[in-house]
Structure 1
């Protein structure tokens, strides 16, 4: 899996989430107040979330785990290890 959806930091990713979800929710919630013009917030939300809320969630997981997990394959067996100076094997 590539880090196509990850951000440079969890803070940056969280800001994108707040802006994106806020714009999506606002675009619907503001219809009774400002009318259909509030739907102009939809593209803002989608751009902030880089296309979809699921993609944003995947990116959050990638951003949090970046650099912590390392996959290695030896003798036909692959393992996933935590690289925080911990030798504990998480999964195979």
Structure 2
């Protein structure tokens, strides 16, 4: 029976159940598909309440993406017409 997830133990069980369902060949519109959708919504609700993720600033997002790509701020400057543009953008503090 599906119910609101209130504890970490219930959360872990829901994750295990979702994983188990994902391993099956589920047909869209089936009872299993509906169950997976409901479990996913319950997991999402629990995570939003217990593990909130604050949105990053645009500057932090740019720096993070540069890091993911293995690029430097110097390489970013090649994308700007004026070299000081990238320094100005990346030095702006989030208010």
Asked whether the two chains share a fold, i.e. TM above 0.5, the reply is no
Calculate the TM-score normalised by the size of structure 1. Answer: 0.33
Bigger relative contact order (CA 8 A; separation at least 6): 1
Calculate the TM-score normalised by the size of structure 2. Answer: 0.32
Q: Which has the higher strand share?
A: 1
Bigger radius of gyration among the two = 2
